Amino acid sequence: MNLIDRIDALLPQTQCTRCGYPGCRPYAEALAEGRAAINRCPPGGSAGIRRLGLLLNRPELPLDPACGGEGPPAMAVIDARACIGCARCLPACPVDAILGAQQFLHTVLERECNGCELCLSACPVDCIAMVPRAADRPAPEAADNRRRYEHHRARLQRIANERRQLLADRKRAARPSQ
């Protein structure tokens, strides 16, 4: 396992972007290349900073407050009375933990929500809130987050490819026959 993989394995895989990178893997790459500090992952918290410091032989630092704060595991909940069914939260969720469709009520799959908070800024009516997880409803493990994130990315890529193919087919069909 190379250094980037070892660093990535220590990260919580919430893909929350609070570290300033578009996901856990790019943050791991920046750490391996010495371009990022070890204290930029709020979901990993002080325990994550400690593990990264040991692996990279860097001094332990307090969590960078510009990235957010360390807190108890949380999950998103949607206020059904306020949800307008705009579906903007669906693509924002990096692990597809929100179910719904345009003009329909959305809901969060509690077991799948990793607490990344990305759905909050996507919602135009602020009907999504983060709440502490109940002790009997633990946050997903990093491996589950990674698997769901990879599935999410593959699904988005498949949709983009299908759209490109559809547009190419329509262009060909619109050309006059010669």
Please state the domain extents for the chain: 3-67, 72-178
Report the pLDDT value the prediction gives residue 121, as an integer from 0 to 100. Answer: 96
Residue 133 Rama label (left phi>0; alpha psi -120 to 50; beta): beta
Correct CATH for 72-178 of 1.20.1440.230, 3.40.309.10, 3.40.50.920, 3.30.70.20: 3.30.70.20
129: which strand partners?
77
Lowest mean pLDDT of 47-51, 101-105, 157-161, 173-177, name the range. Answer: 173-177
Report the pLDDT value the prediction gives residue 150, as an integer from 0 to 100. Answer: 95
Mean pLDDT of the chain: 94
Report the pLDDT value the prediction gives residue 29, as an integer from 0 to 100. Answer: 98
Residue 135 has which token pair? 């002790």
Query: pTM for this one?
Result: 0.86
Q: Is the pLDDT of residue 117 over 70?
A: yes
98: which strand partners?
108
Which whole number is the average pLDDT over 131-149?
93
- For the beta carbon of residue 92, count every other beta carbon within 10 angstroms: 17
CATH number of the structural domain 3-67: 1.10.15.40
Helix (H, G, I), strand (E, B) or coil at 107: strand
Report the pLDDT value the prediction gives residue 178, as an integer from 0 to 100. Answer: 61
* DSSP-assigned letter for residue 21: S
CA distance 133 to 107: 16
Which whole number is the average pLDDT over 119-142?
94
Give the contacts of 113 (CB within 8 A, at least 6 positions apart): 75, 76, 95, 97, 140
Of the chain, the percentage scoring pLDDT greater than 90 comes to: 87
CA distance 64 to 70: 10
**String of b and e for 39-64 (b: at least 16 CB within 10 Å)?**
bbbbbbeeebbebbeebbeeeeeebb
pLDDT single digits (tens) 74-105:
999 999 999 999 999 999 999 999 998 888 88
Residue 176 banded pLDDT, cuts 50, 70, 90: confident
CA distance 36 to 28: 9
